[in-house]
Structure 1
Amino acid sequence: MEEKKLDRNSIIGFVLIFGILIWIMYQNQPTEKQIAADKAKKELVQKQAEAQKVKAAAVTVVKDSTANDSTQLSALKATLGNFAYSATLPSAKENFTTIENDLIKITIANKGGFITEATLKNQERFKKGSGQLVSLIKDKNSDLNITLLTQDNRSLSTKDLFFEPTLTKVGENQVLTLHLNASANEFLEYKYVLKPNNYMLDFDIRSQGLSKVLNTSKPLDLEWNLKAYRNEKSISYENRYADIRYEYEGDKDSYTGQGKDKEETPEKVSFIAFKQHFFTSILLTKTPFEKSKLYSDNLVVNDQVDTLYTKQFKANVPLAFNNGELDYKMNWYFGPTDYKTLKAYDRNLDKIIPLGWGIFGWINKFIFIPLFGFLSSYIAYGIAIIIFTILIKIAMSPITYKSFLSQAKMKVLRPEITELGDKFKKDPMKKQQETMKLYNKAGVNPMAGCIPALIQIPFMYASFQFFPSAFELRQKSFLWADDLSSFDQVAKLPFHIPLYGDHISLFPILAAIAIFFYMKMTSGDQQMAAPQQEGMPDMSKIMKIMIYVSPIMMLIFFNSYGAGLSLYNFISNLITIGIMFVIKNYIVDPEKIHAQIQENKLKEPKKQGKFQQKLQAMMQEAEAQKAQQKKK
């Protein structure tokens, strides 16, 4: 018989399946909102112009050794007001203070009182591919500024003023106190406290005696800026997971998105995280910021070009006065975006890791993370991924068995279903009713094969969230992959292929081959089990197309993904093929299934479930309406 051409319904079915697969792969990428950033940029230019005036006066003090001269003081007074006093102190010069422990090195400038270097120390997984240690802050890529509004209508920027530093040690803690002085007893204070074996610093901002100097009728604006350095091999992959994450209104959390000119204005914010892929800079506060303006901009114009930065992050928050003074207890975190490390602080910081919402997040938190953490603490990471995959697939094997058993039962019933189709060819409604009766009489549930497959989808999607977020895989090698958190390049192409890239990764190729054979193995059984329904797409043709489309999608989209995820998919499909082979050839016996179905037919039919009863009632009602229309 001549094979039918691909009809419209088949095309629609194929498009729907293709769309579902695309959704699964890119669910973690939210839709970009078109938010104009012109206003924010204009405000920045205005602030820079105002700060330039202050900067000119402050620089004069550094260069002029006669800063205590009355003429010079008068000039400073005219520009800096009461804070001219700070500019006359010996500390009013470009100088830096370093505090460090075994995990992190922090350098803080006298000018501005903010952190100018934050470098992670002494671990291979904190290094870049070049061998350099990862620095979240260095070479002026970050600044912190408070705009001071004085009672005589001056607007001063703290980043252009000089603080007086005092470094002490309290027990094992290093304490750096910086004063921006209006007089000997009137000052703005920054206090940094670094504890041993800790990525987090205490950071307090308070004022003393400034109620007569500053305009305290409205909050001061604190602005934190950071241009995120590129740290990973694949800039497109790294940039996909770089954004601003924040907690607001108690325990809610959200993010700005990864595209250009992203802006959010949450209220009652308790932490702001400038999140890169595997490293994060976080500002936390025990007194939530009433309002905030968060801005993120994508700096990667062309991912084929070697780029220094990935994102520009900005946060603007108000510091409210309490009885005429500032008093904020805050913290800085500079460290890995590692689930266990962040969770240990008990400040909800693990929320910044995109593990998925709902059931996907639960699977990652309560199954994937504990299981993989246990395995990787005893064996190499590549082997841990393989054993992890085996255990997950073994746990899912009863569901795979149920799905295959249902297909086998449907395959046995196919001749009878085909016979009913021929008998009631002119009456589709009657055909559906009789088919349902046959299923009920034989004790077969046509939905039994779909439900197990649906149960497996959350685990598949959870893996798409887990492996890209697994900090443990960074800089860990396996076989030819020198970094399981990045792509496993085996060949460099002399040209760039759109969507694919300029290199060839081997694990995605192996995963694509495994998917091809798995779909080839199962598509025949599915086609035999599921008879063609009138008015429905021809699933046999769709499956034939998907046999080739799915591996191609794996090759294209996973070529620049982390090797750990591709390894997981390869082993997962390989194991599924093995499980299906064993079930098909050694566990499920079609003859026994046929005999059981025939025996079920002789028994009194089982009572229909609520869904089947409702479906049957709908069919009967439709049949009655059809008969009524014929009478008319």
Structure 2
Amino acid sequence: MDRNQLTGLILMLVFITIYFQFFAPEPNPEQISQLNRSDSSQIIDDPQQSAIGQPGTTVLSDSARARLSEMKFGLFSSAADGEEKITTIENEKMIVSFSSKGGVVNKVILKDFKDFRGAPLVLVDDAHAAQHIYVDHLSRKVDLSELYFTGRGRSNVTKAGDTTVLEYRLTLPEGQSVTYKYTIPGDGYEIGMTVVQNGLEPIIGQQVTFAWNQRANRLEKDFKDARNRTTVKYRFTDGDVDELSATSTEKEEETLDLATSWVSFRQKFFTSAIISATPFTNGQVSSYTNFEDTTSVKNMAMSMTLPYADFIGNNSTFKFYYGPNNYAILKDVAPDFSENVELGWSVLSWINKFAIIPIFHFLEQYISNYGVIIIIMVIILRIVLAPLTYKSHMGMAKMRVMKPELDELKAKHGDDAQKAQQEQMALYQKVGINPLSGCIPMLLQMPILFAMFYFFPNSIELRQESFLWATDLSTYDSIWDLPFDIPFYGDHVSLFTLLMTASTILYTWSNSQMTTVQGPMKSLQYIMPIMFLFFLNSYSSGLTFYYFVSNIVSFGQIALFRKFIDEDKIKKVLDENRKKNVNKKKSSFQQKLEEAMRAKDQKKKPGKK
């Protein structure tokens, strides 16, 4: 070979090397998979060739794989092949499996909980979830979760008070390395993660992306309700907490342009989440429901970006949470992380956080039966609200005393409702009655009733706790499973809902005998309980049981108040007020009301020409 031929050959080799290193297109994973299957089938499908052991085929297959691996992973290709090893760490609350492939969490079992079938509760597993860490390397994104790490640490059981440290290291041929350091405390649901690198700065880009896909396992009895309460939730560093629509039937997507401190996959009673000490700069989250899939409730995904310096630097601390949506636990995990428990909006949330939950947890320390706890909660709240309830009944008693005079006014003015209303207002002022005195105290109690509407269905303490015929107070009780579905009602009959509806109708009827409500409003009082019969049939049996007990206690309160409310004495007081107020000027409110009524009356009269 002469000098010219040698020079040409060298230049050709240099050209080919530069092309494959910098300009060759990134291979499609599906093409790689097909090539691997093709190579394997060539060896397996031809037993004669395999028996003969033709060296060309085997060398070509290994060569192709090595080349494709280098094209895909660059300098990381040395870690593309290996054997997956699972390390399991068990503490007081959970059993966590880690995989050497990717150095990530492989499976999480929560020890204190069961799924709806009574099997161990698997919150995360590799068949339904995957974590990825992407780094920029040689104009391509390399997924470190596809590479094999070397683990330092072995499976063990960690007791409360102790901490297990598990390390996974990926080392390149020239000594550069990246290490994941996990800390698992002996008690709790949190896993710490720190990332340490050695010499990777020259070969890594400016950004690192953490991606997490999870197909949430079905864990609850009520499949539909579980889907409607599963979503992706996230918190921006400015304190704003938001979420994707949990009830949407379409795919939900959101681009997060603000710095984000944590992202969670929130199910009805359990959450998987990542919390970053250094906020993610931006990212995307999504969720969608595959209605044909009966083993999982929703597919969720996140893709969050960090500057490489923050991912590898001294503050590169992350925390994973795999556990129950228990307010007492979540409030200590991260700022606003307790928002993963759905406690209602604004005032309702405050009532639950600072009144209902403390009372509930206090009773929980001494009473193990949650049905009994609900009964005692009703009694406590009824005692606390007794002054308002008494004031409401006193207002209704005054209206009953005035009912004969009010009926006379209606009869006197016939069809002139406006005139009758003017006379009624004048009468109220004379005797010193506020017509809303019976309603306002009851309205002040409504926030507590609505707060319960959020508390019971989302209280994990009631999950799978039985009482009487109800096997799970966190979901509906069924005494009869129907072979068909009734629109707006369901395919079952809830006895607690029936009892609540019946007692509400009876309570409404009892109150109607003591009030002056007439006409459409009186009929509306009976329509509402019937609507709740349909609406609450598939709701938490703990909630409907609470409302039922509340109605029963209310009957007792009414009977007690009747003994203390003397209507004859009330009439004497009203007559005395009438004498005192005979020359009293009309209030500004009454004057404005009468002026408005007169103006309305003038409009009804025919105009003059």
Relative to the length of structure 2, the TM-score reads 0.83
Query: How far does the alpha carbon of each residue in 1:392-448 deviate from its partner, in whole angstroms, 9 at most, with x for none?
Result: 122222222222221221222233233334445586655444322211110100111
Q: 1:603 to 1:187 in 2, by over 3 A?
A: same
1:544 to 2:532 alignment = no
Contact 1:440 1:606 in 2 (8 A): no
Match of 1:595 in 2: 572
Deviation at 1:631, TM superposition (A): 7.7
Structure 1 position 335 matched with structure 2 position 323: yes
Q: Does 1:157 align with 2:143?
A: yes
2:234 counterpart (246, 249, 254): 246
CA distances 1:584-625 after superposition (whole Å, capped 9, x unpaired):
3x122222211111111111369789xx52342252366379
Q: Deviations over 1:283-336 (max 9, x none)?
A: 1111111212111212345xxxx9210011111111212299566211001011
Partner of 1:135: 122
Tell me the distance in 2 between the aligned counterparts of 1:474 and 1:314. Answer: 27
The two structures, once aligned, show a CA RMSD in angstroms of 3.3
Whether the 8 Å CA contact 2:131–2:212 is kept in 1: the answer is yes
Query: Secondary structure of the equivalent of 1:560?
Result: coil
Q: Which amino acid aligns with 1:413?
A: M
Aligned to 2:548: 570
Question: For residues 600 and 478 of structure 2, what CA distance do their matches in structure 1 show?
Answer: 64
Distance of aligned partners of 1:342 and 1:591 in 2 relative to their CA distance in 1, 3 Å threshold? same
Deviates more, 1:97-106 or 1:74-83: 74-83
| Amino acid of the structure 1 residue aligned with 2:557 | I
Q: Which runs of 5+ in 2 are unaligned?
A: 1-25, 44-56
Letter in 2 for 1:544: S
* Residue 283 (structure 2) pairs with residue 292 (structure 1): yes
SS in 1 for 2:175: coil
Query: Does the alignment pair 1:166 with 2:155?
Result: no
Task: State which of 490, 493, 507 in structure 1 corresponds to 2:482.
Answer: 493
Give 1:57 deviation, angstroms.
Answer: 9.4
Q: Which residue of 2 aligns with 1:77?
A: 70
Q: Does 1:555 align with 2:533?
A: yes
Q: In 2, Cα distance between the equivalents of 1:478 and 1:608? A: 60
Q: Distance in 1 between matches of 2:455 and 2:119?
A: 27
Instruction: Identify which range, 491-500 or 239-248, moves more after superposition.
Output: 491-500
Do 1:209 and 1:325's aligned partners in 2 also have CA atoms closer than 8 Å? no
How does 1:617-632 map onto structure 2 within 5 Å? Answer: 617-620=592-595, 623=598
CA contact (8 A) 1:405 1:588 kept: yes
Name the amino acid aligned to 1:574.
Answer: I
Q: Which amino acid aligns with 1:282?
A: A
Between stretches 508-517 and 157-166, larger displacement belongs to: 157-166
- Alignment deviations for residues 533-569 of structure 1 (CA, whole Å, 9 cap, x no partner): xxxxxx534423542x334333322222222111101
Matched, 1:583 2:576: no
2:419 aligned with 1:444: no
Aligned residue type for 1:556: F
Q: 1:191 deviation in Å? A: 2.2
Match 1:208 to one of 198, 222, 230: 198
In structure 2, the CA distance between the partners of 1:398 and 1:58, relative to structure 1 (3 Å rule), is farther
Shift of residue 364, structure 1, vs aligned partner:
0.6
Partner in structure 1 of residue 267 of structure 2 = 276
Indicate how the Cα distance of structure 1 residues 504 and 604 shifts in structure 2: closer, same or farther if over 3 A, else same. closer
**Where does residue 245 of structure 2 map in the other structure?**
257
Secondary structure at 1:84 match in 2: helix
Name the structure 2 match of 1:616.
Answer: 591
Which runs of 5 or more structure 1 residues have no equivalent in the other structure?
Answer: 1-47, 531-538
Taking a change above 3 Å as real, the CA distance of residues 569 and 208 of structure 1, as seen in their structure-2 partners, is same
Q: With structure 1 as the length reference, what TM-score do the two structures score?
A: 0.80
Q: Quick one: distance in 1 between partners of 2:58 and 2:95?
A: 32
Per-residue deviation, 1:244: 1.6
Within the candidate set 365, 372, 376, 1:377 is matched to 365
Superposed displacement of residue 486, structure 1: 2.1
Relative to 1, partners in 2 of residues 1:191 and 1:438: Cα closer, same or farther, differing over 3 Å? same
What pairs with 1:373-522 in structure 2 (closer than 5 Å)? 373-379=361-367, 380-424=369-413, 430-522=419-511
Tell me the distance in 2 between the aligned counterparts of 1:477 and 1:427.
58
**Structure 2 letter corresponding to 1:199:** Y
Alpha-carbon distance change, 324 to 337 in structure 1, aligned in 2, over 3 angstroms: closer
Deviates more, 1:494-503 or 1:474-483: 494-503
Q: What letter is aligned with 2:309?
A: N
Q: Give 2:308's aligned residue.
A: 321
1:601 corresponds to which letter in structure 2? R
- Contact 1:54 / 1:157 at 8 angstroms: preserved in 2? no
Conserved? CA contact 1:202–1:332, under 8 Å: yes
Q: Does the Cα contact within 8 Å between 1:211 and 1:324 map onto a contact in 2?
A: no
- Aligned-residue sequence identity (percent) comes to 32
Question: How far does residue 352 in structure 1 lie from its aligned partner after superposition?
Answer: 1.2
Secondary structure of the structure 1 residue equivalent to 2:514: helix
The code of the aligned residue for 1:590 comes to E
Greater length-normalized contact order (CA 8 Å, ≥ 6 residues apart): 1
Q: Which has the larger radius of gyration?
A: 2
Equivalent position amino acid for 2:150 in 1: E
Cα shift at 1:505 = 2.2
| Corresponding pairs, count | 556
CA distance change for structure 1 residues 134 and 93 in 2, over 3 Å: closer, same or farther?
A: same
**Counterpart among 284, 308, 329 of residue 295 in structure 2:** 308
Residues 485-494 or 389-398, more deviating? 485-494
2:476 partner letter: F
CA positional deviation for 1:51: 4.1
CA distance, structure 1, for counterparts of residue 171 and residue 149 of structure 2: 7
